Structure 1
Amino acid sequence: MSEHETSTDTCYLHPDREALLRCSRCERPICADDMIEAPVGYQCRQCAQGGQPVRRLGDLFVRPLVSQTLVGIIAVVYVVSMAVPLTRQFGLVPVLVGTEPWRLITSAFLHVGLIHVGFNGLLLWRLGEMLEPVLGHLRFGALYLAGLAGGALGVVGLAWLTAFTPLASIPLLGVVFATGPASVTVGASGAVFGLMGAAMAGMRARGVDPWRTDVGSLVLLNLVITFLIPGISVGGHLGGLLAGFVAGKVLFVDAGRARRAATVTFAAAAAVLLTTTLLF
């Protein structure tokens, strides 16, 4: 056996590791740690030396720092809220947003009960792992704010719609949608629904039917829960889902247009929050 021959199942540089593919230059099997991105395919370390600037496969992975940080903040706020009541001062009360607009944002970090915070935290963590490495930190942050803004608009808009239209008196619809300008809403659900909406938009952009995927099943399950379980913010969930889907269509672009897409999304989200404050 010559010095360049090795098992097709193991890396020729690390025989104790499984090979994932072959070097595009020498065609020897290599593992993930030795895969170097080249202009065409991936090369091993030896072939990549002296060539054009290259990156290791691990360098291409973007750690979901924004989503993990958000989960951490939500967890800390929840622990603090068990000792110091925060809902009344920082929860989303539609009748107060005109004079206390910060409630549109602070309410998204408050939760009632371990199941509430745990469910939202888990979804945010998993969806962040899916989306942030693809979008990058800046675009993911813009997406999260867009979902939060859409959810806040949905909560406030539905509250005033219930108060000033016959919606509450309509059988079934009144039970499902009815809320009020003085009701208190908390939770990151609007922003999380925004992430689900964006994931669906990204799949559609790539020619994938999202309803045939796990994401589609997740959205459908959460919509069923939204409409069947009393006390859940229908306006917040639907507003976040719609805002996230629209933001996803803007944000899933090539790297050359990423910063512009993030700027547009940040501006649109800020405009929605400002409009919600001024109108209601």
Structure 2
Amino acid sequence: MATCYRHPSRETGVSCSNCGRPICPDCMTTTPVGMRCPECAKQRTKVRHMRDMSAGPQVTIALIAINVVVFLTEGSHAFTISGGAETGSVIREGALLGSSEMPGLAGQGVAHGQLWRLVTGGFLHASILHIAFNMWVLYYLGTMLEPALGRVRFASIYFVSLLTGSLGALIVSPHDITVGASGAVFGLMGAAAVEMRARQIPLMQSGVGTLIVINLIISFTIPGVSWGGHVGGLIGGALAAAVLRAADRYRSPALGLVGCAAIALAAVAGSIEAAKSSEVEPSGAAPALVTPEG
């Protein structure tokens, strides 16, 4: 059994939920997210004094606001399936697309240098139900994670997940037009799972485990859902959270952000490669015009 890092003669089975060091009862500080060692408890107190806690989860609210405003600009043709009405210009120019030979879309996509689609596709939605569900989950997870991680880390995880979600979607369906914040939202689920495990909170009892399982089932059973985007986002978010937590153990938060940037760059590079390798349309295949991510 491990011994307390401050009292080597005392055995303990409890570790600090932040840095992972073993602590005895005399060294434990109870917090809403688990037990903390004296050093981490002091650090948490200082950070709380520095933040305006009454401001709320500002990044979460800002992301929701951006998604809603963009959705309102999409127009009445926000969602179109192959053979239906013409898509609005916002979706046509901003949705995630690797490459396509469809009339009006030939020569467009990530394969042709339109890298903004890797990000903008995550702020477009196919219907009111689509955006409502994604924004509800974003708010639920954002109000949980942003206060615990801080705004910069939370935003880092969100955008890393968005990019790895785009990578997953391009690997699985590079010729489909894909929209939705689900890749990023799945990334927040992955990050929440990492944080719960690190803080010794039972995943299923917290509700996060159930949320992940239900959404994965939906991803693989309902036609028209980008399961590649969902799985890519889930993996990216979990990886980003793990990198940030590992950096905390070495007392180097900046290193964690560098790690997140590296994951994001790798996702962009992988997306470009996936899009370019799919430039030739498969014989006899008719690409779907819109494939919502969630």
What TM-score do you get using the length of structure 1 for normalisation? 0.68
1:258 to 253, 258, 267: 253
Displacement of 1:226:
1.2
Distance in 1, matches of 2:208 and 2:67, equals 23
1:90-239 aligned at under 5 Å gives the runs 90-95=94-99, 96-99=109-112, 100-159=114-173, 181-239=174-232
Equivalent pair of 1:62/1:136 in contact (CA under 8 Å): no
1:94–1:155 Cα contact (<8 Å) kept = no
In the alignment, the residues of structure 2 paired with residue 270 and residue 261 of structure 1 have an alpha-carbon distance, to the nearest angstrom, of 14
Whole-Å separation in 1 of the counterparts to 2:47 and 2:170: 50
Give the deviation of 1:78 after TM superposition: 0.3
Give 3-state SS (helix, strand or coil) of 1:86's partner.
helix
Q: How far apart, in 1, do the equivalents of 2:162 and 2:181 lie?
A: 7
- With over 3 angstroms needed to count, the CA separation of the structure-2 counterparts of 1:265 and 1:61, relative to structure 1, is farther
User: How many angstroms apart in 1 are the aligned matches of 2:266 and 2:214?
Assistant: 31
Sequence identity, in percent?
40
Note the C-alpha offset of 1:56. 6.1
Does 1:273 find its partner at 2:268? yes
Quick one: structure 1 residues 216 and 62, their matched pair in 2 at CA, closer, same or farther if it must change by over 3 Å? farther
Measured in 2, the distance between the counterparts of 1:62 and 1:135 equals 15
Greater mean alpha carbon deviation, residues 258-267 or residues 234-243: 258-267
Is the 1:91–1:103 contact (alpha carbons within 8 Å) kept by the matching residues of 2? yes
Say if 2:171 and 2:274, in contact at 8 Å, map to a contact too: no
Match of 1:245 in 2: 238
Residue by residue over 1:148-202, the C-alpha shift from the partner in whole angstroms, topping out at 9 and shown as x without a partner, is 111111101112xxxxxxxxxxxxxxxxxxxxx3211000000000000000011
1:211 Cα offset (Å): 2.9
Whether 2:101 is the aligned partner of 1:88: answer no
Q: Which runs of 5+ in 2 are unaligned?
A: 1-38, 77-87, 100-108, 276-294
Summarize the Cα distance change of 1:249–1:86 in structure 2 as closer, same or farther, 3 Å threshold. same
Letter in 2 for 1:231: G
Decide whether the 8 Å contact of 2:240 with 2:259 is kept in 1: no
Structure 2 letter corresponding to 1:152: S
User: 1:209 and 1:81, CA in 2 relative to 1: closer, same or farther beyond 3 A?
Assistant: same
3-state SS of 1:124 partner? helix
CA distance in 2, matches of 1:54, 1:200: 23
Q: Could you list the per-position Cα deviations for residues 240-279 of structure 1 after superposition, in whole angstroms to 9, with x for gaps in the alignment?
A: 1111111111123649432321232123212311331144
One-letter code of the match for 2:146?
E
Q: For structure 1, which segment, 111-120 or 95-104, has the greater mean C-alpha deviation from structure 2 after superposition? A: 95-104
Q: Tell me the matched-pair count.
A: 211
Q: RMSD of aligned C-alpha atoms?
A: 2.7
Secondary structure class of the residue paired with 1:183: coil
Change (3 A) 1:60 1:71: closer
CA distance in 1, matches of 2:126, 2:274: 28
Q: Which has the higher helix share?
A: 1
User: Any idea what the Cα deviations from partners look like across 1:204-251, whole Å, max 9, x if unmatched?
Assistant: 112233133200011111111112211110100011111111111112
